[in-house]
Amino acid sequence: MSLVWLVLTPFLGAALVAAVARLGRSHAAWAAGAVTLLALAWLLPLIPTAFAGSTVLQRVGWLPSAGVDLVFRLDGLGLLFALLILGIGLLVILYARYYLSPRDSMGRFYASLLLFMGAMLGVVLSENLIQLLVFWELTSLASFLLISYWQHRADARNGARMALAVTGAGGLALLAGFLLLGEMVGSYELSALLAAGDVIRAHPFYVPMLALVLLGAFTKSAQFPFHFWLPHAMAAPTPVSAYLHSATMVKAGVFLLARLFPALSGTPEWFWLVTGAGLATLLVGAFTALFKHDLKGLLAYSTISHLGLITALFGIGTPLAAVAGVFHIINHATFKAGLFMAAGIIDHECGTRDMRRINGLWRYMPHTATLAMVAAAAMAGVPLFNGFLSKEMFFAEAVGVSATLAWGWLLPVAVTAAGLFAVAYSLRFIHDVFFNGEPIDLPRTPHEPPRWMKVPVEILVVLCLLVGIFPAQTVEPLLSVAAAGVLQAPTPAHDLAIWHGFSPALWMSLIALVGGVLVYVGRRPLFDLYERRIEPHLDAKAIYEYLLGRLFAFARRLTGWLDTGSLPRLLGLFFLFALILGAAGLASDTVPLTGARALLPVDGISLLATLGLIAAALATVVLHRQRFTALILIGAVGLTVALIFIKFSAPDLALTQLSVEVVTIVLLLLALYFLPQESPAESGTPRRLGDGVLALAAGTGAGLLAWAVLTRPYQTIAGYFLDNSLTGGGGSNVVNVILVDFRGFDTLGEITVLALAGLGIYAMLEHLRLPGPARDPQGRPWDADRHPAIMASFTRLLLPLALLVSLFIFLRGHNLPGGGFIAGLITAVALIMQYLANGVAWTQVRLPGSNMHPLIAAGLAIATVTGLASFAFGHPFLTSTFGHVHWPLVGEFELASAMAFDLGVYLVVVGATLLILIHLGAMHTASHEAPSPTKGDN
């Protein structure tokens, strides 16, 4: 279970941090740090097992009926990544405490950061591919929040959107690839997948699957040509960049390559696709980085280039290349995190990141300068720094693989060129920023940052040096176990030494070093060339925006074609197609329309009621322009429908219909007051005739369908509920038992929606004041008597009676027609009656707690707590129980836990209905005297 908790801790911690942030800025940082340490504590006991070379698998049943489990896996590779994520995460948390300005929200920052951390841990520790993909998408979402942290800046929003679009599209491709992969092997679990490499590689769908998986990995790891989102993600705060672009986000892509290495690698397709993309990225990134004037831009392209290097290593596919790939993942994470933090310090102290203005900082911040220079030397691949070691392994692998290829000599040349540019841009980072004259027109005078802001950089730089000088004593054990995790086989013999003799790789390093210095010295013509010839023509962002624009235009055209915004048109199309489909079924089928069931006898009253219903419905259609008349007629239609419900033994439905009917009338009357009394004729006669024919045909079709169904003996699910309602739910009213027990979860959802709808209407109406008409529709002045005395006195007498009816309906609901919903409506109507007859002011004064929000909240809370209470007894959510008690006088009385749930339903219905109606009524200011209803209600 510890792996589950390890992944869950940051997610839970995110909520904690957001809450703690209210106490103070440092509290949030401390809490985030504590959460990360706690996660590390979950990991620690497992480290010896992982180092012993065994794989830890932990499984939690999630949806056992669907065969879906949460499975976590810790092997060498997972361990390495978990350590990087947590370790660098901890340093970033410390650094960000000093980086963020007092205007920035600490809670939001650290909560998003922890969300991201949890998602990343989920990616690297998942055993199941689908589960991995869920966390993968979570990293995309969390990174969106982090990149757009400064929401007021357009570049942050655009950069975040671009990153989400590119990595999200890749995630979709990845899902498709994973599904193919799962189908090939018959399992989504890595243990099975990694052992089935031969099956996968021989499968006819290998190439499409590989392409889809690689699309996912390449978009995430910013491989050419999907690299363009990464520089734009630099609009994020620098701690975010230091985290996302060193150890986490972009490393998820190369993690995937490493994770699936045993299953997918070893084919020519793998070699060409992965090495090809990696090399292109390596070259494009290294070349472009030199010309970026923005400090973070340079680092961004350098990151792209190093990711290309790692990808190329995995593409080469030999075990030693994989070892080198893992090694470079570690090295790049340490020096790049340090460099981003140093860049953040410089930005923080100078107020700009433009290297044409930042010069000669050595004099102002020698300490930071030393740290940055060490990290930059590691980035360049200078001996004695960690970057040198893995880069030399890369050179050696490139030379090794070149012998097997036609035109193979191009490969060492290309990687040497990339190395050369890496030296050049690293040199530019050092020379331009810390030397090269004096600062030009800086917004602030730079000085050393606070002590603790430098500590994370110091730790990282020390690591760079330690690994660079004593590789065998420091990084070797971790590297070896991680590489074994990648290969799923013992790590091949490798020698982590600085000196390997005069190998080709050494000469390549030398050429890169010397050549890099020369390129930097002679950079002026190169800059001219780049700025005039290359930059204006090569803008991936422009292509992306062009494609996005086309996509939006296409979507708009399609939507505009389907939906012109005309409801009659949409409904007409809908009914037309339903009619065509239904008629086709009716015409082609040999089954007769009328089924075998005997018809029920018709009695005179039912016939009369039906004719009345038809007449009232027709009259509503004919008179629908006179809105008030139509409303009265609808009232008659509703009443007749309730009668039909009673006739066909659905008393619950009838009671609900009757209560809803009157609430609807009140609601419509409230709205009608502000509306024209007659609707204008908007369509011509031909249109109306056509619509009429269509409506008649659709009605006839629905009637025929009902006829066909009702005349057949038909097995419904009602039997199950009738059999189990009393024994399982403790109530003999099946409708109510379904609502509060069998389908209690649905009801909980529905009352939540009702509560939200009530609050939504409240929010919309809160400050809305509309002028009402001064005269009635006939032009007469309104009656002067607001609350006729007889009516007022009479309704006051009615209130207790109505409440008694409501209580009666509520209590009997479990066994006889009734229940919380109907009782809630009756109570609401009883109270509305007082508002109608006695006015808002009179009622508000006498109604205790006329603010409906606590009532709604209490209802939701009672329903939820009733559901949760079943957990305490070891049953699933909302399991109900019941018992019988013998009360004096009353006699045998049944108590069911569902009744508490029903009480929740009751309170929500009362609260939401009153909230909506009263606030609709309060929109009209002119007729209201103090105290105003909103005053008591807020």
Amino acid at site 524? R
Binds other proteins by CB under 8 A, chosen from 277, 313, 373, 658:
658
| Percentages (nearest 5) of helix, strand, coil residues in the chain | 75, 5, 25
- Nearer Cβ to other proteins (100/765): 765
Supply the minimum distance, in Å, between the C-beta of residue 230 and other proteins. 59
- Nearer Cβ to other proteins (164/831): 831
- Nearer Cβ to other proteins (210/920): 920
Supply the minimum distance, in Å, between the C-beta of residue 669 and other proteins. 5
Query: Which DSSP symbol is given to 887?
Result: E
- Nearer Cβ to other proteins (349/937): 937
- Nearer Cβ to other proteins (495/783): 783
- Nearer Cβ to other proteins (126/656): 656
- Let me know how long the chain is: 938
790 binding other proteins? (CB under 8 A)? no
Interface with other proteins by CB under 8 A: which range of 106-114, 556-564, 778-786, 857-865? Answer: 778-786
- Nearer Cβ to other proteins (325/813): 813
920 binding other proteins? (CB under 8 A)? yes
Q: Is the Cβ–Cβ distance between 181 and 129 less than 8 Å?
A: yes
Binds other proteins by CB under 8 A, chosen from 928, 932, 934, 936:
928
- Nearer Cβ to other proteins (416/913): 913
Measured between alpha carbons, how far is 133 from 178 in angstroms, rounded to an integer?
8
Q: Is the Cβ–Cβ distance between 148 and 157 less than 8 Å?
A: yes
Interaxial angle between packed helices 25-43 and 106-125, expressed in degrees from 0 to 180 and rounded to the nearest 10 = 10
Measured between alpha carbons, how far is 327 from 494 in angstroms, rounded to an integer?
11
- Nearer Cβ to other proteins (56/802): 802
- Nearer Cβ to other proteins (276/635): 635
748 binding other proteins? (CB under 8 A)? no
912 binding other proteins? (CB under 8 A)? no
Please choose, from the candidates 813, 798, 655, 675, the residue with its C-alpha nearest in 3D space to the C-alpha of residue 733: 813
764 SS3 class: helix
- Nearer Cβ to other proteins (158/732): 732
- Nearer Cβ to other proteins (338/813): 813
Q: What are the φ and ψ backbone dihedral angles of 492, each rounded to 5 degrees?
A: -65, 160
402 binding other proteins? (CB under 8 A)? no
Measured between alpha carbons, how far is 120 from 116 in angstroms, rounded to an integer?
6
Binds other proteins by CB under 8 A, chosen from 397, 427, 918, 937:
918
Supply the minimum distance, in Å, between the C-beta of residue 601 and other proteins. 15
101 SS3 class: coil
Binds other proteins by CB under 8 A, chosen from 415, 427, 836, 898:
836
659 binding other proteins? (CB under 8 A)? yes
For 305, the token pair is 């280039």
Interface with other proteins by CB under 8 A: which range of 144-152, 406-414, 849-857, 924-932? Answer: 924-932
Measured between alpha carbons, how far is 639 from 257 in angstroms, rounded to an integer?
68
Binds other proteins by CB under 8 A, chosen from 61, 64, 525, 604:
604
Please choose, from the candidates 176, 177, 166, 265, the residue with its C-alpha nearest in 3D space to the C-alpha of residue 224: 166
Interface with other proteins by CB under 8 A: which range of 12-20, 329-337, 363-371, 612-620? Answer: 612-620
Measured between alpha carbons, how far is 310 from 277 in angstroms, rounded to an integer?
11
Kindly write down the DSSP assignment for every residue of 283-320, as one continuous string: HHHHHHHHT--BHHHHHHHHHHHHHHHHHHHHHH--HH
839 binding other proteins? (CB under 8 A)? yes
769 binding other proteins? (CB under 8 A)? no
C-beta atoms surrounding 131 within 10 Å:
21
- Nearer Cβ to other proteins (350/922): 922
Measured between alpha carbons, how far is 926 from 758 in angstroms, rounded to an integer?
24
Size of the site for other proteins (CB under 8 A): 65
651 binding other proteins? (CB under 8 A)? yes
728 binding other proteins? (CB under 8 A)? no
Kindly write down the DSSP assignment for every residue of 627-643, as one continuous string: HHHHHHHHHHHHHHHHH
Phi-psi region of 727 (alpha: psi -120 to 50; beta: other; left: phi over 0): alpha
636 binding other proteins? (CB under 8 A)? yes
Return the bridge partners of 70, or none. Answer: 60
- Nearer Cβ to other proteins (492/612): 612
- Nearer Cβ to other proteins (362/628): 628
Please choose, from the candidates 934, 908, 930, 936, the residue with its C-alpha nearest in 3D space to the C-alpha of residue 919: 934
- Nearer Cβ to other proteins (316/655): 655
Spatial neighbors of 774 by CB under 8 A, at least 6 apart, are: 781, 782
29 binding other proteins? (CB under 8 A)? no
User: H-type helices in 435-531, by residue range?
Assistant: 451-469, 471-474, 476-487, 504-521, 523-529
**Contacts of other proteins in 802-831 (CB under 8 A):** 802, 805, 809, 817-818, 826, 829-830
Give the DSSP H or E segment for 9.
Answer: helix 2-20
276 binding other proteins? (CB under 8 A)? no
Please choose, from the candidates 335, 248, 320, the residue with its C-alpha nearest in 3D space to the C-alpha of residue 480: 320
644 binding other proteins? (CB under 8 A)? no
619 binding other proteins? (CB under 8 A)? yes
Q: Is the Cβ–Cβ distance between 843 and 796 less than 8 Å?
A: no
Supply the minimum distance, in Å, between the C-beta of residue 933 and other proteins. 9
Measured between alpha carbons, how far is 250 from 255 in angstroms, rounded to an integer?
9
Measured between alpha carbons, how far is 567 from 573 in angstroms, rounded to an integer?
10
936 binding other proteins? (CB under 8 A)? no
Interface with other proteins by CB under 8 A: which range of 9-17, 239-247, 325-333, 609-617? Answer: 609-617
28 binding other proteins? (CB under 8 A)? no
Q: What are the φ and ψ backbone dihedral angles of 886, each rounded to 5 degrees?
A: -105, 110
Measured between alpha carbons, how far is 166 from 233 in angstroms, rounded to an integer?
12
Binds other proteins by CB under 8 A, chosen from 12, 176, 644, 669:
669
Return the CA Rg of the chain.
36
837 binding other proteins? (CB under 8 A)? yes
932 binding other proteins? (CB under 8 A)? no
571 binding other proteins? (CB under 8 A)? no
C-alpha torsion 433→436→441→445, nearest 10:
60
Supply the minimum distance, in Å, between the C-beta of residue 733 and other proteins. 11
**CB neighbour class for 684 (10 Å; exposed up to 12, middle 13-18, buried from 19):** exposed
Binds other proteins by CB under 8 A, chosen from 552, 648, 782, 871:
782
Supply the minimum distance, in Å, between the C-beta of residue 693 and other proteins. 24
Spatial neighbors of 394 by CB under 8 A, at least 6 apart, are: 309, 312, 313, 324, 328, 415
195 binding other proteins? (CB under 8 A)? no
300 binding other proteins? (CB under 8 A)? no
Rounded to a whole number of angstroms, the distance between the first and last alpha carbons of the chain is 47
Phi-psi region of 691 (alpha: psi -120 to 50; beta: other; left: phi over 0): alpha
- Nearer Cβ to other proteins (533/786): 786
155 binding other proteins? (CB under 8 A)? no
643 binding other proteins? (CB under 8 A)? yes
282 binding other proteins? (CB under 8 A)? no
Please report, as ranges, the residues that interact with other proteins according to CB under 8 A.
604-605, 608-609, 612, 615-616, 619, 628-629, 631-633, 635-636, 639, 642-643, 646, 651, 654-655, 658-659, 661-662, 665-666, 669-670, 672-673, 772-773, 776, 782-783, 785-786, 791, 795, 798, 802, 805, 809, 817-818, 826, 829-830, 832-833, 835-837, 839-840, 917-918, 920-922, 924, 927-928
